[in-house]
Amino acid sequence: MKTPVITTLNIPLIAAAASHFKCTGKLKQSQNNLVYLDIDDAYILELFPLLQDQTIKMPDYFGKGSAGAHITVVYPEENKKINKEELGVEHAFSINALAAAEIGHKTYYVLLVEAPSLLQLRRQYQLPDLLCFKGYAVGFHITIGVKE
């Protein structure tokens, strides 16, 4: 697996705004088997405009059947079914940094997060600590913007 080029960004406005949001969410699973922590949509709706770059687009997470703001725990490609008892359970996380990650021909603007209980869940299902996204090893994160 490749490692993305990650650049830490210093945008005090985003750090300040994010500090007011709840750092918990409930575990959910989409119809295509994406397992994710469902978090407050404000993480995207309120932070995205603070990136102040017209070339960055808001992630397409808000249509019908979409997850909204979330932290991915298991990608569908990882082919793991999780026990139904895990769904709906609340997990906490903390925000470490705002960063830009270059993956393929796109740059993802993300909040890097730490979530010990989600890491424990991945290990419980014999999954590696890092998720595999398009052939890249990535940690837990909240995507707030994408640039082509």
With cut-offs at 50, 70 and 90, classify the pLDDT of residue 79. confident
pLDDT in tens, 30-57: 989 999 999 999 999 999 999 999 999 9
Give the count of beta carbons closer than 10 Å to the beta carbon of residue 104: 12
pLDDT in tens, 123-147: 999 999 999 998 999 999 999 999 9
Instruction: Identify the pLDDT of residue 81.
Output: 85
Q: Report percent pLDDT > 90 for the chain.
A: 92
Sign of the C-alpha dihedral computed for residues 131, 76, 58 and 121 taken in this order? negative
CA distances from 8 to 2, 33, 98, 108, 134 (A): 19, 31, 6, 12, 21
pLDDT in tens, 96-114: 999 999 999 999 999 999 9
Encoded amino acid at 49, one letter:
P
Whole-angstrom Cα distance, residue 62 to residue 57? 13
Tell whether the model's pLDDT for residue 65 goes beyond 90: no
Per-domain residue ranges of the chain: 5-147
Name the pairing type of β-strands 90-92 and 24-29: antiparallel
Residue with token string 């080029």:
5
Residue partners of 42: CB distance under 8 A and separation at least 6: 21, 69
